[in-house]
A and B are shown apart, each in its own frame.
Chain A
Amino acid sequence: DVKVTQSSRYLVKRTGEKVFLECVQDMDHENMFWYRQDPGLGLRLIYFSYDVKMKEKGDIPEGYSVSREKKERFSLILESASTNQTSMYLCASSSGTGDVQPQHFGDGTRLSIL
């Protein structure tokens, strides 16, 4: 089974802090994604990556950056955390390029910014 592991289930940070969310997958997947999930809204794509050192902006990249130095690891960075970034953050991975494969999700990080 695919395993996507997010470093923290719950995280509390203060406004203005730099926050790192880590995600590791163990199935050698090329594609990795970061979403945020808020009540009443669908999953919104923040950033994604199709290869090592490669990144693409999703629908809501403002205030975030990412890093993919190794194939199995995709990090989300909140440069200067703000209260409107309080949310559930989900990491996902999938195999293949240019075709459609299901995404496999981690358990999520519930981030609170005070």
Chain B
Amino acid sequence: GQNIDQPTEMTATEGAIVQINCTYQTSGFNGLFWYQQHAGEAPTFLSYNVLDGLEEKGRFSSFLSRSKGYSYLLLKELQMKDSASYLCAASDSNYQLIWGAGTKLIIKP
């Protein structure tokens, strides 16, 4: 079957670095997305990886290892506004997205 796993909740300190992991099993693979969702709001697109390696976008970076079925989202210089849920989604052979349940990130001062 198809499956995405990510931690339910993580806590980090303002100014620090946090890594949110995601493992996936899909029928075929056409890339992996990360979305951010603040409470009561729409998910917003953060990043897309289809090749192995690290993609950097400002304070946020996303890594993919296709052979390991593994990705992570790295957030640097954490700010209070980064408190949100982070959703991992893999695109399968039919280009359908398989979604993880999301990781709730709590930032403490």
Contacts and interface: CB of A to CB of B under 8 A. Distances in A.
Contact of B91 (A45, A58, A100, A106): A100
Of the four ranges (under 10, 10 to 19, 20 to 34, 35 or more), the interface on chain B belongs to: 20 to 34
A43 B31 contact: no
A85 B8 CA distance: 24
B87 A105 contact: no
Interface string A61-80: 00000000000000000000
Contact of B44 (A58, A98, A105): A105
Nearest to B47: A102
Interface in A23-42: 40-42
A83 B45 CA distance: 31
A42 B102 contact: yes
| Size bracket of the A interface | 10 to 19
Contacts of A106: 42
B42 A108 contact: yes
Contacts, number: 46
Given A100-B31, A100-B95, A41 B43 contact: no
The SS class assigned to the A binding surface is: loop
Max count, chain B CB within 10 A of own CB: residue among A44, A45, A102: A102
Contacts of A100: 30-31, 48, 50, 91, 95
A107 interface: yes
Interface in B34-92: 40-45, 48, 50, 87, 89, 91
Nearest to B100: A42
Closest 4 CB pairs of A and B: A42-B99, A105-B42, A102-B45, A43-B99
